[in-house]
Amino acid sequence: MPTPLGNLRDITLRALDVLRDCVLVVAEDTRVARRLLAAHGITGKPLLSYREQNAAQATPSILARARDALVAVTTDAGMPGLSDPGRELLVAARAAGVAVEVLPGPVAFACAAALSGFPLEGLVFGGFLPRARGERADALQSALGAGATHAWYESPQRIVATLETLAALDPAATVFVAREMTKLHEQQILGTPQEALAALERPVRGEITLVLGPRAASKSRRSSEDVETAIDAALDAGLSVAAAAKMLARERDEHRTELYALVAARKSARSGKPPRTS
């Protein structure tokens, strides 16, 4: 069951029913769960810590209790299993024949994506961005070229470096940074990576969600030399003629049929074979 992102009043009535009726509360951090229970007048509940570090040891005893009684699984904030402990326990429960039910409720990336105002058709959630600088840059570069809105969770220790990387990759990118959502010091920032860096409160603290809007399509026609370079890059990446034409049409806002002919001709020129005709 999900727990509030910050404001403890955001819990659902059904979630409170479960917390009152359960025989055990499995929590990412028992201190956080205890505060939530106390805020709603729920006392005397046994709590068991369940984290990545102790999951293997804790799982058998949790499943043993859940076979014949109601057990509630919570994380510190949001939905268990979404970049938080919970997925492995769910998989183990299903494998053991223990019934599992999900309660709807707060999910940070969904709230931040809605707040961003970006188009959400094809929204991609990437969990936490990679810690390694190069892998993080690769993930951001891939998202910039995907044509869809992307959302990630990010550490307050790394968000500055992440925004700096985005600024280097595409200074005109549009980002939305949501920090400490639903809490007293909530901050919402919409703008370019540099604008977000300038507005971000320092030192950076709290939970952060980063949303990257889709790159605006360019309306300008590019030179034939530039087109040829883009086609070569697509073919070098192993794309088929059809896939390369589709990708380039989306990126360049040009007709797919014309690009298909250009890609086919370029592929034939590279191979030394005449283009196929139908």
What pLDDT, on the 0 to 100 scale, is given for residue 224? 62
Quote the pLDDT of residue 273: 62
* H-helix or E-strand spanning residue 243: helix 241-252
Phi first, then psi, for residue 241 (nearest 5°) are -60, -45
For domain 108-212, the question of CATH label 3.80.10.10 is answered with no
Query: What residue has token string 């910050």?
Result: 6
H helix intervals, 86-152: 87-95, 108-116, 133-144
Q: What is the pTM of this model?
A: 0.75
Euclidean distance between CA atoms 258 and 57, whole angstroms: 60
Give percent helix, percent strand, percent coil of the chain, each to the nearest 5: 45, 15, 40
30, 31, 17: which is closest to 58 by C-alpha? 30
Helices 241-252 & 224-236 angle (0-180, nearest 10): 130
Contact 211, 217 (CB under 8 A): no
**Residue among 275, 252, 278 at smallest CA distance from 262:** 275
**How far apart, in whole angstroms, are the C-alpha atoms of residue 128 and residue 83?**
7
User: Which run of H or E residues covers position 71?
Assistant: strand 71-74
SS3 assignment, position 179: strand
Domain limits, the chain: 8-95, 108-212, 224-271
CATH architecture of the domain with range 8-95: 3-Layer(aba) Sandwich (3.40)
- Predicted confidence pLDDT, tens digits, the chain (278 residues): 999 999 999 999 999 999 999 999 999 999 999 999 999 999 999 999 999 899 999 999 999 999 999 999 999 999 998 888 889 999 999 999 999 999 999 999 999 999 999 999 999 999 999 999 999 999 999 999 898 999 999 999 999 999 999 999 999 999 999 999 999 999 999 999 999 999 999 999 999 999 999 986 544 445 566 888 889 888 887 888 988 888 888 777 677 787 888 888 888 888 876 555 54
pLDDT of residue 221: 44
Residue 186, exposed/middle/buried by CB under 10 A (0-12, 13-18, 19+)? middle
pLDDT value, residue 255: 73
d(CA 59, CA 50): 8
pLDDT at 219: 41
Q: What is the CA radius of gyration of the chain?
A: 24
